[in-house]
Structure 1
Amino acid sequence: MELGGLVRALGLEQPPATVPPAEQVLARAALLFSPGAGRVPSAGELRELDALVQAAGCPWLLGGLSPATLGGLVAALSGCAAPPAQEQEGAELPSQDGAYAAAAERAAGVGSVFLHLLAKLEAAKTQESLGVRVVGPILRRVMAPIYIFAATHVVERPWTNARSQSVAQELLASLVQAAGCGSVAEFLRGKSEDEEGRFAAVMELLKQELTKDTWKRNPATKFVFSWTLPHVSRPWLSHYLERVLPPSLLISDDYREENKILGVRCLHHIILNVPAADLCQFNRAQVVYHALYNHLYSREAPLIQAVLLCLLDLLPILERAWWQQKQARPAAPCDEVLQLVLTHMEAEHRLALRRVYAGTLPAFVRRLGILIVRHLKRLERVILGYLEVCDGPKEEARLGILETLQCTIEHAWPRMPCRLPVLLKALLKMIWDVHTDQGSTPEPVKATLLQGATECLILLDRCSEGQVKVLLEGVYSSCEENRVRECIRKVQEST
């Protein structure tokens, strides 16, 4: 076997009739390509190493090879293909573009080496001189670092290109197949609840990079973690709660919005996939609640949306524990959140935030049920204010507020008759504004708004024992607009 330039780079002597043993070659290669060597492997060196692995016979490559040697080589190659480290906090600078492009090219070369290495390991399983006895320990040693490498490059990032993504996707599929699994989720969590997957090994490697002082140095670490976490679901995730909760809280506590959203989404996945008893143990749920609650003071719509959706799934867990412990608090967590949300909604003028608030408000009303009466005064002001303002072609805020009003009437109907004059006036004014609107609102959206307002009027009529029908008689007789008359007719004909 002619190794040429690679052997010279490794500093090995190659007598005419002999070939250096694989243990020696791969150990020297690990040292040569390690980040501590102070050099970056060239494309030619990676191609030669790839050709060596591809051309080598399984007995020569794997016979007598220790798992630690191959594990060291995999770690070294993964390190040299990693995105450039960030010495300072902040967004990626344009000057990083060249370094990212070079990292993507190295990643494609390293990925090819790993692909051929996995192919050799698969082939060696069927050979009598090697078999699973030899291959098994090697696979267990290299699977986690190869997975992290593939997850770093599998989706589009600043440090990837089309070739590196394609190689990473192929590598991930080969890794899953080599483990005898059917999917990435199965690879990570195991085929059954009793079988341990590779998630623990992956998190052990990520652990040293997910500390307060290190998680920002490698820009890929947070993405590998957040891409991996959703693949591990209930009931497996509860076994790893102590490993995944701290980094999720750490990322969500960052000052950059994109990191906050990433961390909140990780927390949301944990809330959905870990039993309530485990979340309440050691006050974990309360810690998560306070972290999310602080984000409600943000002015960024995407973050607020992620936080509110997360809180809606966390609140039932918190309140169950709150009632069981009979804590002496003036309000339940859901009341605290809704009170703050309504306070912000009253003064909010940015349409993006108004849409987010209005879109999630119905879920809070349903969550509280009849207890929404605690917030009726402020909620009424919010509903009246939001019904007045057109918020663009899709009218998302108005539609959300109409749904909120319907839910409020259904749950707090005994308190509605006294509010009938102001609500009836606001709904009729909105119906007229929508009918006369000459803006860019499409006709289907207008029809949905009118239908929502009509349903609110019907509900108000039912809970006020027909008072709305009486009040609308004069409006119907004096109105000449067919579309408005049609809405009133539906109310009058309702039973």
Structure 2
Amino acid sequence: MEHDSSRESPSRDGSSLPGEWLSSSLGQAFSQIVHRLNDQESRRGRARNRALQHLDVLLESRPCHRLFEGSGASLLGMPEMLGKLAKALEKCAAPPKEQEGREDGYSEGAEQAAEVGSLFIKLLRIIVSARGCLLFREWESVVQHLAGPIYIFAVTHSLQQPWTTPRSQFIAGKVLALLLQITGCDSVAGFLYGESEDEKGKFTEIMELLKPDLNKESWKNNPATKHVFSWTLQQVTQPWLNQHLEKILPPSLLISDDYQTENKVLGVDCLHHIVLNVPAADLLQYNRAQVVYDALFNHLYTPEHHLIQAVLLCLLNLFPVLEKALRWKGDTARPTTHCDEVLQLVLTHMEPEHRILLRRTYARNLPAFVKRLGILTVRHLKRLERVILGYLEVYDGPEEEARLKILETLKLLMQYTWPRVSCRLVVLLKALLKLICDVARDPNLTPEPVKSALLEEATDCLLLLDHCSQGRVKGLLAKIPQSCEDSKVVNCIRKVQQVSEGTPYSGT
């Protein structure tokens, strides 16, 4: 009888296979905690708090620190159980839905995240201390099951968001640092795509974990998911990104197609990162580049300057990809491009626009379009002329960003389309002289460095205009210094005259 009793519970006296008894006992305890954390009714109630407290006590206990002792057979199922525990904890700390996102709910969620983060730190430290007890294969299995959920938790709460506090961010940062230490990675980028060529990173696994929450029906259930996806995506660059294109492009398009401007900008930033880091051949395959272009083009009709800025920057990098598919034969006219189409729409919106922020955004990007089209900008010359003249007349605030960018655009336009400039000499000369006089006589609104920049850019435009008209500007300005009493205006005109005559201008 005694012999049979000792065989039924061999490890209670520590005489045989203690690891098996420990793993079995702790596995059952972990299983119960996971069950309680996954229970929808108790996830945000007292049962959840009791489960977290129970887990805290368990992780502090001596048996848990001997979790990985014993033979390989005793570890059977433990990595999977720890993975389920990590997933349950990550879901438990997830912020509430967007529609429920009141400040009090977010405050409570940040405290919950800090508590969960502390539990992750204790668990990871146990894993670190057990490194010497495990075979490489066993260690890899443990890390494989824990890495994904813990990474998602760490990124969710380490970024500055409405659901985070300095404390929860600090704890989440420590969790991420410990995770990188365990995986032997020097950076998040290395963790995602692998530190070496033969090492497989965790990016695919992370995307698979995020996938259920990144479809049309569920992506707003957790407000952190889109930020985790976006931040993770932007850590991976070429040449590693193109192999994941099927996983990252649909969610990026989905987020950019939302009705909220914040989400649109986030999605466009994701698309921009894809355009910059995926080879043109892959983007052109299956008409992906055209799909991205259509999605971006539709955003140009919105009046949000942040969104317009993000869209125009992305389009400017997408144009070279789209134009690779075009074929031009020298005996025919060049076909219109996507850049022509976008510039035409931008100029249509610029003419009547009165909102300062939008005017600045359009003007900021206009030089890049002229550079992109080069001599083909002549197709848009009449409309560009109207926009330039209109924008030069309007004061743009102390920094004068719009007028400075319009002057830069005018310089580029004259350089690329100089044969067509001489017939517009009088109109452009009047606009530039009026601008110089307005800036020179402005008593207090514009800071002196900005005034100097405007006068210098306007003078450069006069010089280019003089070259394009074979010196006619110098003749038209000849009598102004004799009648003008403003020294700043006279200096600008003298510079044009002296440089036109071939004399170096040193200023006064």
Q: CA deviation at 1:487?
A: 0.6
Structure 2: how far apart are the matches of 1:487 and 1:78? 65
Q: What is the aligned partner in structure 1 of residue 495 from structure 2?
A: 490
Q: 1:27 aligns with which of 25, 31, 40?
A: 31
AA in 1 matched with 2:450: V
AA in 2 matched with 1:98: D
AA in 2 matched with 1:438: P
AA in 1 matched with 2:177: A
Q: What is the aligned partner in structure 2 of residue 3 from structure 1?
A: none
Structure 1: state its 5+ residue gaps: 1-14
Q: Would you say the 8 A contact 2:257–2:264 is kept in 1?
A: yes
Q: Would you say the 8 A contact 2:36–2:48 is kept in 1?
A: no
Q: Would you say the 8 A contact 1:388–1:430 is kept in 2?
A: yes
Q: 2:177 aligns with which of 173, 176, 186?
A: 173
CA deviations over 1:47-90 (Å, ceiling 9, x no partner): 4423432444567323434221111111111111111234x5xx
Deviates more, 1:113-122 or 1:388-397: 113-122
Q: What is the aligned partner in structure 1 of residue 108 from structure 2?
A: 102
Q: Would you say the 8 A contact 1:54–1:117 is kept in 2?
A: no
Structure 2: how far apart are the matches of 1:328 and 1:437? 47
Q: Would you say the 8 A contact 1:394–1:441 is kept in 2?
A: yes
AA in 1 matched with 2:352: A
Judging changes above 3 Å, is the alpha-carbon distance between structure 1 residues 328 and 479 closer, same or farther for their aligned structure 2 residues? closer
Tell me the secondary structure at the aligned position of residue 231 of structure 1.
coil
Structure 2: state its 5+ residue gaps: 1-11, 15-20, 503-508
Q: What is the aligned partner in structure 2 of residue 140 from structure 1?
A: 144
Q: CA deviation at 1:43?
A: 4.9
Aligned counterparts, 1:258-297, within 5 A: 258-297=262-301
Aligned counterparts, 1:336-351, within 5 A: 336-351=341-356
2:212 counterpart of 1:208:
yes
Q: Would you say the 8 A contact 1:83–1:220 is kept in 2?
A: yes
Q: 1:235 aligns with which of 233, 236, 239?
A: 239
Q: 2:408 aligns with which of 403, 407, 410?
A: 403
Judging changes above 3 Å, is the alpha-carbon distance between structure 1 residues 116 and 328 closer, same or farther for their aligned structure 2 residues? farther
Q: Would you say the 8 A contact 1:383–1:405 is kept in 2?
A: yes
Aligned counterparts, 1:63-142, within 5 A: 63=69, 64-65=74-75, 66=77, 67-86=79-98, 96-127=102-133, 130-142=134-146
Judging changes above 3 Å, is the alpha-carbon distance between structure 1 residues 285 and 220 closer, same or farther for their aligned structure 2 residues? same
Q: CA deviation at 1:320?
A: 1.6
Q: CA deviation at 1:342?
A: 0.4
Q: What is the aligned partner in structure 2 of residue 12 from structure 1?
A: none
Q: Percent identity?
A: 57
Q: CA deviation at 1:36?
A: 3.3
Q: Would you say the 8 A contact 2:419–2:468 is kept in 1?
A: yes
CA deviations over 1:122-170 (Å, ceiling 9, x no partner): 221122xx24332210110110111001111011212111111101111
Q: 2:157 aligns with which of 143, 153, 156?
A: 153
AA in 1 matched with 2:262: E
Q: 1:387 aligns with which of 384, 392, 404?
A: 392
Structure 1: how far apart are the matches of 2:333 and 2:112? 60
Q: What is the aligned partner in structure 2 of residue 5 from structure 1?
A: none
CA deviations over 1:408-448 (Å, ceiling 9, x no partner): 11111111111111001000000001111134211100110
Aligned counterparts, 1:29-68, within 5 A: 29-36=33-40, 38-40=42-44, 43=49, 45-56=51-62, 60-63=66-69, 64-65=74-75, 66=77, 67-68=79-80
Q: Would you say the 8 A contact 1:31–1:37 is kept in 2?
A: no
Q: CA deviation at 1:367?
A: 0.3
Q: What is the aligned partner in structure 2 of residue 452 from structure 1?
A: 457
Structure 2: how far apart are the matches of 1:85 and 1:328? 55
Q: 2:320 aligns with which of 313, 316, 319?
A: 316
Q: What is the aligned partner in structure 2 of residue 246 from structure 1?
A: 250
Q: What is the aligned partner in structure 1 of residue 433 from structure 2?
A: 428
Q: CA deviation at 1:100?
A: 1.4
Q: What is the aligned partner in structure 1 of residue 259 from structure 2?
A: 255
Judging changes above 3 Å, is the alpha-carbon distance between structure 1 residues 200 and 356 closer, same or farther for their aligned structure 2 residues? same
Deviates more, 1:53-62 or 1:333-342: 53-62
Deviates more, 1:360-369 or 1:177-186: 177-186
Tell me the secondary structure at the aligned position of residue 159 of structure 1.
coil
Q: Would you say the 8 A contact 1:22–1:62 is kept in 2?
A: no
AA in 1 matched with 2:375: I
Q: Would you say the 8 A contact 1:461–1:468 is kept in 2?
A: yes
AA in 2 matched with 1:276: A
Q: Would you say the 8 A contact 2:363–2:405 is kept in 1?
A: yes
AA in 2 matched with 1:211: N
AA in 2 matched with 1:483: K
Q: CA deviation at 1:45?
A: 4.7
Q: Would you say the 8 A contact 1:43–1:106 is kept in 2?
A: no
Structure 1: how far apart are the matches of 2:492 and 2:197? 56
Tell me the secondary structure at the aligned position of residue 196 of structure 1.
coil
AA in 1 matched with 2:80: A
CA RMSD between the two structures? 2.2
Which contiguous aligned blocks of 4+ residues in structure 1 show a shift greater than 6 angstroms?
A: 15-20, 324-329
Q: Would you say the 8 A contact 1:53–1:116 is kept in 2?
A: yes
Structure 2: how far apart are the matches of 1:329 and 1:210? 42
Tell me the secondary structure at the aligned position of residue 326 of structure 2.
helix
Judging changes above 3 Å, is the alpha-carbon distance between structure 1 residues 49 and 286 closer, same or farther for their aligned structure 2 residues? same
Tell me the secondary structure at the aligned position of residue 322 of structure 1.
coil
Structure 1: how far apart are the matches of 2:338 and 2:244? 27
Q: CA deviation at 1:35?
A: 4.0
Tell me the secondary structure at the aligned position of residue 213 of structure 2.
coil
Q: Would you say the 8 A contact 1:58–1:123 is kept in 2?
A: no
Aligned counterparts, 1:321-340, within 5 A: 321-323=325-327, 331-340=336-345
Relative to the length of structure 2, the TM-score reads 0.89
Tell me the secondary structure at the aligned position of residue 448 of structure 1.
helix
Structure 2: how far apart are the matches of 1:99 and 1:436? 56
Structure 1: how far apart are the matches of 2:166 and 2:262? 24
Q: 2:447 aligns with which of 442, 447, 468?
A: 442
Q: What is the aligned partner in structure 2 of residue 10 from structure 1?
A: none
Relative to the length of structure 1, the TM-score reads 0.91
Structure 1: how far apart are the matches of 2:65 and 2:442? 79
